Structure 1
Amino acid sequence: MEQISNNQIIKLGVVVDNLEEAFQYYVELFKLDPAKMRAPKPRSPESESSQAAPAPEGGNTPFVWHRGEYRKARCRTAIIPLEPIYLELIEPYDEASPWTEFREKHGPGIHFMTFHIDGFEEHIQLMESKGMPAFFKQEKGKERYAYFDSASKLGTTIEFKEIDKK
């Protein structure tokens, strides 16, 4: 593989300090219908647990891998549809995650841009061959995500998203 299989950006990931507040600003600014968006869920005591995540056992076992460790990398999100792409607003928990790292280093802002791809492992190898290794991978059953250490070369983090076609 010599190039990314798709050159259409589908999503921008935006780290925010307060999810509800940012969500409301987007609703008002663009006169969006909140019923057509995935709105933020309130925090609950159960969601505050920060136990380590188990390593995957193979197949489509859900997992999160961040900087060499399997863990829970949690955040709260809201989806803002702005055609032809969408924004994912992300409020990170105060624990190790790519979103917390970004917020601590840069404050709120655009963290990554996402491309749908086919061939997850091949794309990981491509990016590594270009000097941009993966530092975050997540499996969610039929969906896989990876963030790459691309900011120093491209000005932003690249995220690949693959969805099983079955």
Structure 2
Amino acid sequence: MQNRVPLTGMIQIAVVVEDIERALDHWCELLGVDRPEVRVSSAEPNPDETYRGEVAAYSLKLAVIECPERGFVLEVQEPDQNPSTFREFLKAHGPGVHHIGFAVGDARDAVVSELETMGYEMRTVGFYPGGSWTIVDGEDRLGVNLNIKPHV
């Protein structure tokens, strides 16, 4: 691969669950950390995000446990029942690690393009002010999906 995903760019581990409150109880006890805020996104169609090529419309409960000493975050995510990469994963596998996130800087487009030519499917692409995220379907080959981001 010409445009490699750098291990030093690992910024995120994302776990999907059916009950975020219960999962956070366990994670916070295990890690000895304060309970993070749970944010809830709207299920309204989002023209800045696609899921399998269609405009995404799902809600997600999300909590972020920071690990600044290591330079990454642990995200705990509970999707609603609407179609999304997160609900797809839960249906197929149950709770577990949905993706590992990597910041690849200005190589983001080249990395995503090369992964596509290698046969990896782009599951979700989202844009927000100042950034983007792309969930690459790596379940069969890697055992986990990838989140390719330009920056943290």
TM bracket, shorter-chain basis: 0.7 to 0.9
Gaps of 5+ in 1: 55-62
- Is the 1:77–1:89 contact (alpha carbons within 8 Å) kept by the matching residues of 2? yes
Q: How many residues align?
A: 148
CA change 1:133–1:95 in 2 (3 A) is same
- Which of 110, 120, 125 does residue 132 from structure 1 map onto? 120
Where do residues 38-117 of structure 1 align in structure 2 (5 Å cutoff)?
A: 38-41=36-39, 50-54=43-47, 63-82=48-67, 83-84=69-70, 85-117=72-104
- Which of 109, 113, 134 does residue 146 from structure 1 map onto? 134
Deviation per CA, 1:76-119: give whole Å up to 9, x if none: 11011345232100000110100000011111111111100123
Task: Quote the residue 1:4 is aligned against.
Answer: 4
Shift of residue 5, structure 1, vs aligned partner: 4.8
**Quick one: distance in 2 between partners of 1:74 and 1:104?**
16
Deviation per CA, 1:37-58: give whole Å up to 9, x if none: x4214x6xxx66x44333xxxx
- Is the 2:100–2:147 contact (alpha carbons within 8 Å) kept by the matching residues of 1? yes
**Quick one: distance in 1 between partners of 2:20 and 2:5?**
32
Task: Quote the residue 1:13 is aligned against.
Answer: 14
Gaps of 5+ in 2: none
One-letter identity of the residue aligned with 2:62: T
CA change 1:40–1:163 in 2 (3 A) is same
One-letter identity of the residue aligned with 2:102: F
Q: Give the RMSD, CA atoms, in angstroms.
A: 2.0
Shift of residue 134, structure 1, vs aligned partner: 1.2
Shift of residue 33, structure 1, vs aligned partner: 2.5
One-letter identity of the residue aligned with 2:104: I
CA change 1:72–1:3 in 2 (3 A) is same
* Percent of residue pairs identical: 25
- Is the 1:64–1:73 contact (alpha carbons within 8 Å) kept by the matching residues of 2? no
**Quick one: distance in 1 between partners of 2:142 and 2:94?**
19
Secondary structure (helix, strand or coil) at the match of 2:83 reads coil
Larger Rg: 1
**Quick one: distance in 1 between partners of 2:58 and 2:37?**
20
**Quick one: distance in 1 between partners of 2:128 and 2:58?**
13
4+ runs deviating over 6 angstroms = none
**Quick one: distance in 2 between partners of 1:157 and 1:144?**
16
